[in-house]
Structures are given as C-alpha cells and as structure tokens.
Amino acid sequence: MENIKKLREITGAGIVDCKKALDEAKQDIDKAVEIIRKKGGAKAAKKIGRETNEGLIDIVISDDNKKCSIVKILCETDFVARNHGFKNFVKDVARAGLDNSSKEYFNSKKDEMVLKIGENLIFGKGELLAGEYIASYIHSNNKVGSVVVFNKKMDESLATDIAMQIVAMSPDYIAPEDVPTKEIEKEKEIYREQLKKEGKPEQIIDKILIGKINKYFSEICLLKQIFIKNDKKSIEQIIKETDQELKIIKFVRYSL
C-alpha cells in the first residue's frame, strides 16, 4: 500500500491503475511512473522524495563576482527557520564557503547552535562556484535560490534576471545538447506510445515527435525557456542580443 500511495502522489492516477502499474513493474516505482505515463494516466509529474524539511538557503558572492558559496541548512521547524540567530548562522556558514570550508564551519559551530535553539541541525548541502562572472538570486523567504556562472562580465541586472529565471522555472540543463540521449529516447518512447493510443497515423508520428521534443527542451533547458520578463523571446535570444560571445557555463538551484 505504501508504494501505491507514493505512486498516486507522483502521478495523480487512481488506485487501480497504480496497483496494475506496480504489479507490471514488479514494484519498481520509476518504471511504474513510466507505465502510467505511456498509458496517459498521469495527471501530474511530481517528483519522488520531495523534501519536507524546514531550513534556509543562503548565498554569498565575493566582491569581484568571481566566487560564490551557496548552502542549505536544515532545521526541524519553521519557527527556528525564521529565527534571526539561525539566519545569521546560515549566513556565516555560506560566508565560510568562499574559502571552501562551509561544512567545516558548520560542524565547528553546530553544537553551540543546537543548545541555543533547541533543535537538531543538518548540513543539507553546499558548494563553491567560480568563474569570470557570477550572479545569484534568492527568494525573499530563503527557501529557494540559484547561482549562475557566465564566461565573461555582463550587465548585472540581466545576470540577476537569469538567476531569477532559474528559481522560477527550475530548468534541469543549460542546453539541449546537455540532455542525456537516454533521457531523450525515453521521452520519445513515452510520446510515441501516447500518440499511438490516440490513433495517430504512423507516418506522421515522427513529425509530431519533433515538436513534442522541442517543447520538452523548452521546459527543461534554460536557454530554450521563454524569458519570464519578455514572453516573446527565449533566454538564448536575450543572451545573443546582449553579447554574441556571452555564455552560461554552469548553474545550480537549491530549494526546500
């Protein structure tokens, strides 16, 4: 029953459909999700293992915008997450990350903080990014934040807007060429099965697939996404219009 419950949360499908899919997949949840999607029964593409922990995300960038530390620190309750002492502690952990020592700093201060706030704390994750120019955006509640690395100095406002795009639209990759072939083939197979089920003629399925995969790229690839501040242009178009040599090297997105 636990697997059925999980599968229903992920797909929104009915109990009977979930049970059949799990039986067919021999209780493998990922395979069961794929089976339901192929049959067109998935109502929502939610992710397994969605985090429910409380905590904060914080980001610190060096003065020259060439280094950036991002951390996620977990606590037990929202009450502590809103505590100024805890917020300052998370900021200090992020600051220590500029020397690539955020986890060490956290471990050295953890016991002291636990005594002060009365809750267990966990170092969720953290990393140090470096490059020619770095921008970041963090939501006002410190529950989601992003860092983006560019190959050269650029307009600060646009760089921040692109970081905001990452927070808002949650891309998985920079460009289509970054998407693993296996993942693309899996999506094609799912779409193909859906189209067959809809009764589409075999000779036009491949043409429809091209459009569906392009739409898929526009959802998961940052460069192909429509810019949230200009719905007539993609991020790729905005960047090219700004500077033909400008490139996004890397991005990360942390959320709670």
pLDDT tens readout for residues 156-173: 999 999 999 999 999 999
Q: Work out the pLDDT band at 142, boundaries 50, 70, 90.
A: very high
What is the CATH number assigned to the segment(s) 54-165+244-255?
Answer: 3.30.479.20
User: Which CATH class name applies to 180-220?
Assistant: mainly alpha
Per cent of the chain over pLDDT 90 is 71
Q: Work out the pLDDT band at 52, boundaries 50, 70, 90.
A: very low
Average pLDDT over residues 250-255: 98
Average pLDDT over residues 16-41: 86
Beta-carbon contacts of 106 under 8 Å, excluding residues fewer than 6 positions away, are 71, 73, 93, 96, 121, 123
pLDDT greater than 60 at residue 46: no
Is 18 within 8 Å of 11 (Cβ atoms)?
yes
Query: Domain 2-38, CATH 3.40.50.150 — does that match?
Result: no
- What was the pLDDT predicted at 225? 98
Domain ranges of the chain: 2-38, 54-165+244-255, 180-220
